[in-house]
Amino acid sequence: MYTASDLRKGLRIMLDDDPYIVVDFQFVKPGKGQSLYRCKLRNLLVGTMMDRTFREVDTFKPAETQEKTMQFLYKEGDHYNFMDTESYEQIHLMEEQIGDAKNFLIENMEVRILLFRERPIDITLPNFVDLVVMEAPPWIKGDTVSGNYKPVILETGYKVAVPPFIEQGEKIRIDTRSGEYLTRVKE
């Protein structure tokens, strides 16, 4: 059982007998007032979004799901095709079910696919993925410690802010939970 203070982005809970994922989460507390947890939730079966505000005393059941390790094969139109690494069975997820994960998916990557009563409904990426920088503005020498950053484009088309010394063709590690740059990967 979860309580409202467990709510965070990415948590999967049961509401009105359907599985939901928290896609946006805001803790609010008017001065002297009670803690409120404002959530934007996505229904994992039908993809619809809803807003709900919970109170400290609210509790939730975790969504009754199973997870399987699968390999990302390829994208075809808005279908993302995966293969179960044990049974070799193939499944697909739709683009809206993939969500932000599309920014970090590359072919052959192993991911966790979430199933609700045998239906694929969601994807969990490894926390860290290494991706190649495809486009980067040049490094202005001397700009190493100032805390400045520059935007680059990765092999998946994802744009991310990195320190100025990162150059085109280099591999960098991304934290898929925050979508932020973590470190340069030396091969």
Partner 1 sequence: MNTEWKLARRKVALETRAALIQAIREFFISRNYLEVETPQRIPAPAPEAHIDAFPSGQWFLHTSPEICMKRMLAAGYPRIFQVCRCFRKHERGDRHLPEFTMLEWYRAGIDYRGLMEECEELFLFLVGKMRVGTSLEYQGEKIDLEKPWGRISVTEAFHRFAAIPMIASLEQGLFDETLVRDIEPRLGRGKPTFLYDYPASLGALARTKRDDRGLAERFEIYLSGLEIANGFSELTDPDEQQRRFEEENRRRRSAGKVACPLPERFLDSLRHLPESAGIALGVDRIAMIFCDAPSVDGVVAFTPEEL
Q: Using CB under 8 A, which of 28, 94, 106, 140 touches partner 1?
A: 28
Q: Using CB under 8 A, which of 11, 36, 73, 83 touches partner 1?
A: 36
* Burial zone of 140 (CB within 10 Å; 0-12 exposed, 13-18 middle, 19+ buried): exposed
Which range of residues in 10-18, 32-40, 114-122, 134-142 is near partner 1 by CB under 8 A?
Answer: 32-40
Residue 21, CB-side half-sphere exposure with 13 Å CA sphere = 18
Per DSSP bridges, beta strands 2-3 and 59-62 are antiparallel
Under rule CB under 8 A, residue 30 binds partner 1:
yes
Q: Using CB under 8 A, which of 100, 110, 155, 180 touches partner 1?
A: 180
Q: Using CB under 8 A, which of 19, 22, 114, 163 touches partner 1?
A: 163
Which range of residues in 14-22, 49-57, 76-84, 91-99 is near partner 1 by CB under 8 A?
Answer: 49-57
Question: What are the residues facing 51 on neighbouring strands?
Answer: 40
Question: What are the residues facing 59 on neighbouring strands?
Answer: 3
Give least dist CB 180 to partner 1, A: 7
Token duo for residue 108? 């052959």
CA dist 83 and 62 (Å) reads 26
Backbone angles phi, psi at 100, to 5 degrees: -65, -15
> Site residues (CB under 8 A) for partner 1?
5, 26-36, 38, 53, 56-57, 145-149, 163, 175, 180-183
